[in-house]
Amino acid sequence: MKKTALKMVAVLLAAGSIQADTITQTNTFSGTPNYTSALTFNKFDTDGGRLTLTGVNVSIFLLTEAQGGVGVDNDGATAAPGTVTMGTKLTVAMRTGGPRLLNEDAEGLPVLYATTSKSMSLTGDDGDTTTFSTNGTDYDVMNIAETQRSSSIVIGESYWARYIGTGTYSFDALVDQSTDFSSFGGSQTLINPMAAQGNVVVTYNFIPEPASASMAILVLIAGFWVRRRFID
């Protein structure tokens, strides 16, 4: 009996693992910041209860292209050392009434920053005064390098309800320009536009009904086997 039960357990474990499956949806965005893209996804259709959702994962990706940059011209009388940081940032926001982008600890997706930084040591104004000049030691430029960032989150089970159904839902991908050159007081800046692209991916993990049934039978057999072991 023990050998038979163990064989059945092995078979059912194999059946359950083989039938586990995933559905992956990917929506992309691209453009010149600042822009917002509405990304629409299909809900998880249980097919009349024949499919059981076992997990929801959301991942995000942002790439700032090697395009654009920022020039800084110091108009002050004293030297102006500092650091320029420029690129893009991605914020993925849920719409009112839509699925929650939160894990079991109520922590959500982070804001992604794909930026380039450069330290500059500008001398005091070299005579161009308030005219923006790209010459001299009081001027420097930083070109944007290709930079990418990514992150992901496992959605908490308590938030799955809004992902289930036969309709759709949307997230907003907000891609904004991100700049920081505040250390250069009294300086003029010239920003050339950049481009950014990326994607949001939603993955459903699920088990079809036969696998669910197999797991239920497995539990019964395991309990029976443990009972027989202690009785014998």
Confidence (pLDDT) at 9:
46
Place of tokens 């250390």: 183
Separation of alpha carbons 8 and 15, rounded Å: 10
What share of residues in the chain are helix, strand, coil (percent, to 5)? 20, 50, 30
Confidence (pLDDT) at 76:
87
Separation of alpha carbons 30 and 49, rounded Å: 37
Confidence (pLDDT) at 169:
97
Place of tokens 């309709």: 167
- Where is 30: in which H helix or E strand? strand 21-31
What is the pLDDT tens value at each position of the chain, 232 positions in all? 445 444 544 444 444 445 789 999 999 999 999 999 999 999 999 999 999 999 999 999 999 999 999 999 998 888 888 899 999 999 999 999 999 999 999 999 999 999 999 999 999 999 888 889 999 999 999 999 999 999 999 999 999 999 999 999 999 999 999 998 876 767 888 999 999 999 999 999 999 986 444 555 555 555 544 455 545 5
Confidence (pLDDT) at 13:
46
Confidence (pLDDT) at 223:
55
Confidence (pLDDT) at 19:
72
Which residue type, as a one-letter code, is found at position 62?
A: L
> What digits encode the pLDDT tens for the residues 175-225?
999 998 876 767 888 999 999 999 999 999 999 986 444 555 555 555 544
Structure tokens at 38: 């509405």
| Among 57, 35, 53, CA closest to 44 | 53
Identify the DSSP state of 108: B
